[in-house]
């Protein structure tokens, strides 16, 4: 193999870390050009490691990697964004852990998706200073679902195709969207969704983050939107995310 092919550069966000051997760590990274990859950071658990600070959880860094037999090896690392607020504030960190796990579960290994990378990178910045963390999480969920190919249908009934009118409706996780009052009446798998909650979801779906974040959302609407989206996400993934319960515990203590 020519020397120029033995190494490569990429930007990456650290999704997960796992201790390996006496001083190494296996890192799960999300990159704009290679998707999700697993690499090894040799010696980064040693007290004098120069790379350790650039490979913290949530950190965005520029990396030089060497091709390995099993896992590629991080040889150089330079921090682009440290995201310190996510490690210094427990609640912000819990939301960041949820954002990272959600992306992790929706992305296969080594499948490039630059738009998802840019969304995650932006979301970690948002979570560092967002005044309403729940709103930021809902906005992120909706846009991740869209980029992953699971955008919920919020303007037409997913059963009959009718336009959703301004009244309380239903939501079907299995069908992937809003269900009109008529179609939803006799379907036990649907859940009610109020028109204000549906309007907020539509607004988040169609509005830039800088505009959406100034919206004031009542606690009851927040809770309703969260329940609907979590039900939908759990149906798609066929599992409950580990970070959800952790986030609930942290929120109770705040």
- Domains with residue ranges and CATH for the chain: 3-82 (2.40.50.140), 85-252 (1.20.1440.120)
pTM of the model: 0.93
Residue 4's pLDDT is 55
Cα 14 to Cα 79: distance, rounded to the nearest angstrom: 11
Confidence grade of residue 250 (pLDDT, cut at 50, 70, 90): very high
Cα 209 to Cα 222: distance, rounded to the nearest angstrom: 17
Cα 165 to Cα 5: distance, rounded to the nearest angstrom: 57
3-state SS, residue 42? coil
3-state SS, residue 20? strand
Percentage of the residues of the chain whose pLDDT score is greater than 90:
90
Confidence grade of residue 150 (pLDDT, cut at 50, 70, 90): very high
Q: Residue range 207-230: average pLDDT?
A: 96
Q: In what order do the strands lie in the sheet with 191-193?
A: 177-179, 169-172, 191-193
Tokens of 69: 């037999």
Residues in the chain: 254
CA dihedral 38, 42, 44, 46 (to 10 degrees): 150
Cα 201 to Cα 204: distance, rounded to the nearest angstrom: 5
Q: What pLDDT digit, counting tens, does each position of 75-114 carry?
A: 999 999 999 999 999 999 999 999 999 999 999 999 999 9
Element (H, E) at 223: helix 219-237
pLDDT over 80 at 116, yes or no: yes
Q: Residue range 150-166: average pLDDT?
A: 94
pLDDT over 80 at 199, yes or no: yes
Q: Residue range 149-177: average pLDDT?
A: 95
Residues in a beta bridge with 148: none
Tokens of 62: 């520029």
Q: What pLDDT digit, counting tens, does each position of 20-31 carry?
A: 989 999 999 999
Reported in sequence order, the residue ranges of 113-185 that DSSP labels E, i.e. its strands, are 169-172, 177-179
What is the separation of C-alpha 220 from the centre of its chain, rounded to a whole number of angstroms? 23
Cα 216 to Cα 203: distance, rounded to the nearest angstrom: 12
Q: What pLDDT digit, counting tens, does each position of 13-66 carry?
A: 999 999 998 999 999 999 999 999 999 999 999 988 889 899 999 999 999 999
3-state SS, residue 88? helix
């Amino acid at each position: 193999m020519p020397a120029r092919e033995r190494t490569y550069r990429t930007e990456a966000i650290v999704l997960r870390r796992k201790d390996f051997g006496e001083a190494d760590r296996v890192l799960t990274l999300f990159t704009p050009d290679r998707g999700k990859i697993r690499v090894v950071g040799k010696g980064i658990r040693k007290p004098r490691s120069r790379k350790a600070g650039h490979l913290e959880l949530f950190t965005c860094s520029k990396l030089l990697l060497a091709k390995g037999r099993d896992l590629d090896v991080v040889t150089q690392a330079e921090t682009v964004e440290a995201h310190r607020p996510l490690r210094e504030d427990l609640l912000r960190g819990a939301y960041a852990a949820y954002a990272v796990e959600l992306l992790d579960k929706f992305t296969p290994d080594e499948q490039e998706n630059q738009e998802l990378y840019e969304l995650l990178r932006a979301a970690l910045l948002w979570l560092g200073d967002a005044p309403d963390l729940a709103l930021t999480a809902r906005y992120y969920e909706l846009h991740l679902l869209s980029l992953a190919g699971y955008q919920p249908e919020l303007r037409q009934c997913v059963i009959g195709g009718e336009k959703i009118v301004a009244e309380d409706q239903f939501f079907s996780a299995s069908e992937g969207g809003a269900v009109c009052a008529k179609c939803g009446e006799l379907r036990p798998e649907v859940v009610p969704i109020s028109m204000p909650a549906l309007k907020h979801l539509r607004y988040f779906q169609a509005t830039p983050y800088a505009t959406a974040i100034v919206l004031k959302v009542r606690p009851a609407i927040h809770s309703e939107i969260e329940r609907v989206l979590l039900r939908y996400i759990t149906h798609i993934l066929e599992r409950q995310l580990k970070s959800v319960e952790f986030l609930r515990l942290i929120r109770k203590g705040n």
